[in-house]
Structure 1
Amino acid sequence: MEAVLMRILFISQLFDPEYSIKGLGLMKHWVEQGHEVEVITTFPNYPTGRVFPGYKRKLKQVEVIDGVKVVRLWSHISHSKSKLSRAATYLSYTILALCYALFSKKPDVVYAYHPQATTGLIGIILKKLKGVHFVTDVQDLWPDALVATGLNKAGLVVRLIDRWCRIVYMQASAIVVLSQGFKTALVERGVPESKIRTVYNWCPEELHISEALDGQNNKVADQKTKARVVYAGNIGAAQSLASLVDAVGTFPDPTVVLELYGNGVEKEELETLVKSKHYGNVIFKGYVSSSDIFDVLIGADILAVHLRSDPLFKITIPSKTQSSMAVGKPILMAVGGEVNDLVMQAGAGVTAEPQSVESIQKALGLLLARKSDWEQMGQSARDFYEQNFSSRVNYQKLDDVLKDVSHDNS
């Protein structure tokens, strides 16, 4: 298929220097391909709800970064947990982004990224008024994600959001999803399979990881040392780490140690659990900056990934999967479903059922019994990442999506 140069309008409330998988790196890639790229975003403030140093909130700020035009628009910003305040944040951004997009130069393609529901509205309106095709990127499957947090599946809010998301799917020229499970779920909802493309997420820090790996002696731990199991990330309700803590805390082999890096709403409760049960081999290490965390991961023996047992999580691929594989360490994956299957396919470690102490202990026992295979597991994880999850592979998949959309426009 002949390459077509395009004007791409990328709409995302989340953008660099905030942590964003599809961010400045992807935009620079498109510019290198010869495309004209414009980003509509707001002032960086996630996750604290406070504008990052070096930025001052105003009506509009335009900057060009390595050929990428980044337009930052005012929006309501709050770090409050109030649902109304969060809704105001989303709606204010959407209204200003829509107004800017309507009166700016017509793009060839709109890529609606984050959040999916509100950026999808902008894509639909530009399609209707300017005849522009758009791509919607599904990072969270709605309303399933809301149901997983406790909302009533049969409630009015969930039904309205479900209806709206179906409209976005049907109006989009192409739909990008992060897993095969998401694709299957959308097909079951009546979305044409022909417009859905599975594009795996990558680890935005993959270059940093490669540099860190080059600078370390990444050998298997000595047989006499303790086996360090590391969990790094959010410690919240979705992660539901009590089962992992209990599994290691009551594990019969005293040489196994679980280190937890990060913060979250369930951290204090887990610390109380550890103290009350006198687990001497479970250690809370606190928050570690993103610039330092990969040195921690590379120094681990086993990397643990765990989510609550939920139908939604069985069809998703948590971002820790990509970062864990990229650092080349054996993985204890306790999520279930598709991502468990990927770890087994890669030969990258062992799997367990989430929220099952018995299953996690069995998986950990298998890993310890195969200590001589840890180096090969880590290499297999790294190879699988390079072949399936890397930005190199998935940038190309997104290039193909844009090419197909552009040919539909012609």
Structure 2
Amino acid sequence: MSTIAYVSQYFVSADQPGGVRHWQHTRALARAGHRVSVITSYVQHKERTIPERYAGRRVVHEVEDGLDVWRTYSTPGYGRDLRSRVASYGTFAWWSAIASARTPRPDVVVASSPSLPSAAAAAAMAAARGARFVLEVRDLWPDSAIAMGLVNDARTIAVARRLEAYCYRRADRIVALTEGIRDGMIELGVSPAKITLITNGVDLEIGADPVPAAAPVPDDAFVAMYVGAHGTYSSLETVLDAADRLRDLPRARVVLVGGGDRKPALVEEAAARGLDNVVFIDPVPKREVTAWLARADVCLLPYQDNPLFAGALPNKAFDYLGAARPIIAAAPAGELTRMVERAGCGVAVPPEDGAALAEAIRRLAVDPEGARRMGAAGRAYALEHYDRAALAARFVAVVESLA
């Protein structure tokens, strides 16, 4: 048995909104017989508030699912602006380092980036305590922030580059979330032999055989659904444009489930345009996502027209595949569109093209049998290539190769 410290600012269980990758991987490590300490923030990424039970506390130790969980303070209420983001990342890096010092001496430290400052703090902790270091990279930061225009200050970029290089240099092994992330690190000079690709996957143990959620739409409605963050990356304005073009299809409804920075503006825009065929739903726990998808007839993956998203393969895509629902990927040609094509699980249309998205929804609405075939093909493909249990086992193998 090895002792493992797992550092991630965002750690979500099936009873909370958001992706559960870390929850699955740490539980897999514990099931394999390892002692796992999770160091995370109690300020969840979706809500961005301090739960009442943690008010006034900086480090809290709890036991959940056989894991020692250390929850720490980080500044709440952050938005898209650089100052509040850096404050959130920096405070978690500080308090995570303090919490890490209270955990048993680890054989292996695992850190997930973003956030980059906490990953660098974890790398330093591993060095100080004589542990091996595994870095998981879920986003090529700061490249993605620069591409999105979120960071343009030369000094901030220079600091981020130094942190990034330090993490790559210190890592004994690196886990990449997508092919694009892996290739991006190789272009930066990271040895390919150091990198293992472990994508997100289909969670078969969460929400099996769901009863469809009671969505506020007519019983005979054809539902195009999006489940996920209403934030910077997703072009949900394009979805509203498509809904506007579907007014002549009375059965069509667009259901948007989730929350995020852009949601208030999206709700306001839908109201201003009189889009009665659009319904907004508050964020739901991961465990309830399958029930909502069971009410969908087609699922949407809209992205901005930015080369950055050619390397996207988001967690929600696997939720859609697992639910056997066809996917309309409105994204730049790349990793996501290739997967949709290989799996035969839907259609790809150009990003930020409301007319093309509306036409794709319309085609599937008039061919429900074709839509069902696509959904079934996607689920079969995902079970063969993206079973979360198999992917978690690969992650455990990476950690054990060092322990």
Query: Deviation at 1:69?
Result: 1.6
Which residue number in structure 1 is paired with residue 230 of structure 2? 235
1:388 aligns with 2:378: no
Amino acid at match of 2:38: V
TM-score by length of 2: 0.86
Aligned pair in 2 of structure 1 residues 85, 374: CA closer, same or farther (>3 Å)? closer
Of residues 326-335 and 78-87 in structure 1, the stretch that sits farther from structure 2 once superposed is 78-87
Give the counterpart of 2:348 among 342, 348, 351.
351
Shift of 1:387: 2.4
Q: 2:245 aligns with which of 242, 250, 265?
A: 250
| Structure 1 position 400, deviation (Å) | 2.0
User: Is the contact made by 1:200 and 1:388 (CA closer than 8 Å) also made in structure 2?
Assistant: no
Q: State the shift of 1:72 in Å.
A: 2.8
**Letter paired with 1:13:** Q
SS in 1 for 2:393: helix
Identity of aligned residues (%): 23
Match of 1:136 in 2: 135
Amino acid at match of 1:308: Q
Match of 1:283 in 2: 278
**Secondary structure of 2:234's aligned partner:** coil
Cα contact 1:11–1:41 (8 A) shared by 2: yes
**Kindly tell me: are residues 279 and 93 of structure 1, through their superposed partners in 2, closer, same or farther at Cα, counting changes over 3 Å?**
closer
Q: Residues 112 and 152 of structure 1: is their aligned pair in 2 closer, same or farther, counting only changes over 3 Å?
A: closer
The whole-number CA distance in structure 2 between the counterparts of 1:66 and 1:365 is 44
How has the CA–CA distance of structure 1 residues 284 and 145 changed in structure 2, closer, same or farther, with 3 Å as cutoff?
same
Decide whether aligned partners of structure 1 residues 160 and 364 sit closer, same or farther in structure 2, where only a CA change above 3 A counts: same
Letter matched to residue 284 of structure 2 = S
Counterpart-to-counterpart distance in 1, 2:296 and 2:313 = 22
1:150-195 Cα distance to aligned partner (Å, 9 max, x none): 1465833223312321221122111111111111111111111111
CA contact (8 A) 1:328 1:382 kept: yes
SS in 2 for 1:134: strand
1:236 is paired with a residue whose SS is coil
The residue number in structure 2 matching 1:371 is 368
Conserved? CA contact 1:229–1:259, under 8 Å: yes
Alignment of 1:180-329 (within 5 A): 180-202=179-201, 206-212=204-210, 215=211, 225-251=220-246, 253-271=249-267, 273-274=269-270, 279-280=275-276, 282-290=277-285, 292-329=288-325
Q: CA RMSD of the aligned region, Å?
A: 2.9
CA distance in structure 2 between the aligned counterparts of 1:296 and 1:124, rounded to whole angstroms: 39
> CA shift at 1:95, angstroms?
2.3
Distance 1:101 1:268 in 2: 37
RCO comparison, higher one (Cα < 8 Å, 6+): 2
- Residues 139 and 181 in structure 2, CA contact (< 8 A), matched pair in contact too: no
Instruction: State the 4+ residue runs in structure 1 displaced beyond 6 angstroms.
Output: none
Q: How far is 1:108 from its partner?
A: 1.2
Structure 1 gap ranges (5+): 218-223
Q: Which has the larger radius of gyration?
A: 1
Give the counterpart letter for 1:209 in structure 2. Answer: G
Q: Does 1:13 align with 2:13?
A: no
One-letter amino acid of the structure 1 residue matched with residue 395 of structure 2? L
Contact 2:89-2:118 at 8 Å conserved across structures: no
Match of residue 78 from structure 1: 76
- 1:209, 1:327 within 8 Å by CA — same for their partners in 2? no
Q: Deviations over 1:336-379 (max 9, x none)?
A: 32111111111111111111234324433543464322222111
Residue 69 of structure 1 corresponds to 68
- The amino acid that maps onto 1:350 is V
Preserved CA contact (<8 Å) 2:134 2:171? yes
